[in-house]
Amino acid sequence: DAGVTQSPTHLIKTRGQHVTLRCSPISGHKSVSWYQQVLGQGPQFIFQYYEKEERGRGNFPDRFSARQFPNYSSELNVNALLLGDSALYLCASSLFTSGTIYEQYFGPGTRLTVT
């Protein structure tokens, strides 16, 4: 089975622009989470989606938004890009069940550079 896939692999944008990152979960997984990993730091939780609904949100500004589609793939959108948004954006999928532990499977990430 294919793992979590993300596109594009790399992206260069200019300050003020908008970006859309895409993620396809493992077949059968209905939950997708997004993380931002700034160089030299641990991943920071941005969003979790399950069955097309937002189930969790980290401490990120409203410039960050996401959605999940009926096929469980997901998009992360970032508006009005800042230099500080430069990071590796990771997507993870899981068989999420509220109140229980669940394993997350991570994709290789999208490297976003804002100039």
Partner 1 sequence: AQSVTQLGSHVSVSEGALVLLRCNYSSSVPPYLFWYVQYPNQGLQLLLKYTSAATLVKGINGFEAEFKKSETSFHLTKPSAHMSDAAEYFCAAQTPTGNQFYFGTGTSLTVIP
**Contact set with partner 1 (CB under 8 A):** 4, 33, 35, 40-45, 48, 55-56, 58, 90, 92, 96-109
The amino acid at residue 114 is: V
* CB hemisphere CA count around 14 (13 angstroms): 0
Residue 56, both tokens: 């969790």
> What residues pair up with 65 in beta bridges, in sequence order?
77
Shortest distance in whole angstroms from residue 80 CB to partner 1: 26
- If the CB atoms of residues 89 and 114 are measured against partner 1, the closer one turns out to be 89
- If the CB atoms of residues 17 and 41 are measured against partner 1, the closer one turns out to be 41
Instruction: Report the alpha-carbon distance of residue 110 to residue 22 in Å, rounded.
Output: 9
Shortest distance in whole angstroms from residue 50 CB to partner 1: 8
Shortest distance in whole angstroms from residue 41 CB to partner 1: 6
- If the CB atoms of residues 33 and 114 are measured against partner 1, the closer one turns out to be 33
Instruction: Report the alpha-carbon distance of residue 100 to residue 78 in Å, rounded.
Output: 30
The DSSP call for residue 27 is T
- If the CB atoms of residues 13 and 88 are measured against partner 1, the closer one turns out to be 88
